[in-house]
Structure 1
Amino acid sequence: MSKRWALSWSGGKDACMVLDQLIKQGDEVACLITTLPKEIGRTFGHGERTELIQAQGEATGIPLEWISCSFDTYTLDFLSTFKSLKNKYELEGVAFGDLYLDEHREWGENVAEQAGLMSSYPLWMEKEDAAAALKVFVDSGYKAKVIRISNSRLDEKWLGREVDASFLNGIQETGICPMGEAGEYHTYVYDGPLFRFQVPVEKGDIVELETTKRMELTLLEERVNKE
């Protein structure tokens, strides 16, 4: 029996893989939810601009809901907004794209339980299975670019790279988690089987942050709908 889910949406490949899997198994993703810390005005974790995440919502045709929060009260803010979204969308559960970090799963299961919802981790795996998971994404037909890297794990040349077969081979030689589960890198998905149009983006400036570098993407006006 199909279920109605909210999907924690970062804009990256992991969340996209969860979306694809839920749809293929016959479930309904009623909304995408993205946290937006007031301190930075960008998405939590990836640091992406709101218009780029909104464009993904429009491309998939799934409603996007922002959870406004503060770093100091992140969990409370998430839970407060999420309870209202439960009623608005008649949700049965929330799905997350975490892979194998227990502390991340414990947090998600806890907030879902407090909201009276199920939690799901469709990608959950053993750490050693990360390379195989990345190959699944590479072969899936979705397209993504690397938008952020950890300075201690990768150098600047990785920014802007397509997550393709060449990337799969190269990232395995670095010794990091191939999926970047510990924040070694983050991605932005701009096209794929469930996208009604390719999100038109081009690579922009590289911004140096305290422990990371981010490549700004520019959202272009031209959109070509798929036939």
Structure 2
Amino acid sequence: MKNQPFVASWSGGKDSAMAYYRAIQSGMTPKRLLTMFQEDEEVSKSHALPLKVVQAQAARLDIPLMIRGAGWDDYESKFIDAMDECRANGITHGVFGDIDLEGHLEWVQKTCAKSGIVPIHPLWQEPRRSILEDLLAVGFEAVIVVVNTNMMPAEYVGRIFTRQLMDELESLGIDSCGENGEFHTVVIDGPIFSSRVPVTFGEVRENEGYVFLTVSLEA
């Protein structure tokens, strides 16, 4: 994998950050980030991060950011369009943060094949807890910004990701990796960034079974 140019699928959360970190450690060369946004391109899909926050992450990675606004109906076509652009610019590989959900792996493999992009999954089939332990060991800082209240209590939104939190979630029978959509995070510091991402956290809002923590850049 040494020196292979890649585009990173970037949610702004812990799994995409760890996959990016592992790819760098293996000698691959980052060329672009791709973040999928809602149709209005104001906040990211799933993690609901404002564009300025994702741009601030990208600036601290010193990597160009690509975004695509999409609904669920045209998500795949917009994703393939972005992969086509990467391939046209000499990027041969894509790095993804999936861990063990076969459906996610198959979707990535299928869509990347249409653009001639080779998908790489640095976290694939590693025990979930092992990934989280490594996340903290190498110095990442992540905060829970979205909680699916059908799967875990709303009061976990805003919590900093720690071993204590992992133990607490697991004691309640909640997957501490959130791989099944229990929660999403934003990464605000870590070994891949040139400096800490200067964010502030505001009000909590609810929508259709989810709670969202407002994230913005410091003024």
- 1:141 is matched with which residue? 139
Query: Which is further off, 75-84 or 106-115?
Result: 75-84
Give 2:113's aligned residue: 113
Between the aligned partners of 2:41 and 2:152, the Cα distance in structure 1 is 24
Q: Sort the Cα spacing of 1:182 and 1:40 in 2 relative to 1 into closer, same or farther, 3 A.
A: farther
- For 2:70 and 2:57, the matched residues in 1 are separated by 21
Residue segments in structure 2 that go unaligned for 5+ positions in a row: none
The structural deviation recorded for 1:39 is 5.5
Aligned residue identity for 1:8: S
Moved more, 31-40 or 114-123: 31-40
Residue type matched to 1:78 in 2? F
Partner amino acid, structure 2, of 1:216: T
**Deviation by residue 1:171-206 (Cα, 9 ceiling, x = unmatched):** 221212221001101000011112111111122100
| Larger mean Cα displacement after TM superposition, 177-186 or 75-84 | 75-84
Aligned-pair CA distance for 1:67? 1.7
Which residue of structure 1 lines up, in the alignment, with residue 79 of structure 2? 78
Which residue type is aligned with residue 64 of structure 2?
Answer: P
Residue 98 of structure 1: how far off its partner (Å): 0.7
- Residue number in structure 1 paired with 2:45: 44
1:69 positional shift: 2.2
Distance in 1 (CA, whole Å) between partners of 2:49 and 2:139 is 23
Specify the SS of the correspondent of 1:86.
helix
Does residue 1:4 correspond to 2:2, yes or no? no
Could you say which residue in structure 1 is the equivalent of 2:204?
Answer: 206
Aligned partner of 2:14 in structure 1 is 13
1:225 maps to none
| 1:65 counterpart = 2:63 | no
Q: 2:9·2:97 contact (CA, 8 Å) conserved in 1?
A: yes
- Cα offsets for 1:47-89 (capped at 9, x unmatched): 211111111001111111112323211111211232022222x
1:39 and 1:70 in contact (8 A); partners too: no
Q: Is 2:32–2:66's contact at 8 Å kept on the other side of the alignment?
A: yes
The match for 2:92 is 92
Distance in 2 (alpha carbons) for counterparts of 1:34 and 1:198: 20
Unaligned runs of 5+ in 1: 222-227
CA distance in 2, matches of 1:3, 1:60: 17
TM superposition score normalised by structure 1 = 0.91
Amino acid at match of 2:72: F
Structure 1, 117-126 or 139-148: larger mean CA deviation = 117-126
Q: Secondary structure at the match of 1:216?
A: strand
Tell me the residue number matched to 1:173: 171
Which amino acid is 1:116 matched to?
A: G
Distance of 2:119 and 2:187 partners within structure 1: 24
Alignment: residue pair count:
218
Q: Normalization by structure 2: what TM-score?
A: 0.94
- The separation in 1 between residues aligned to 2:169 and 2:67, in whole angstroms, is 32
1:176 aligned partner, one-letter code: I
The Cα of 1:40 is off from its aligned counterpart by 7.0
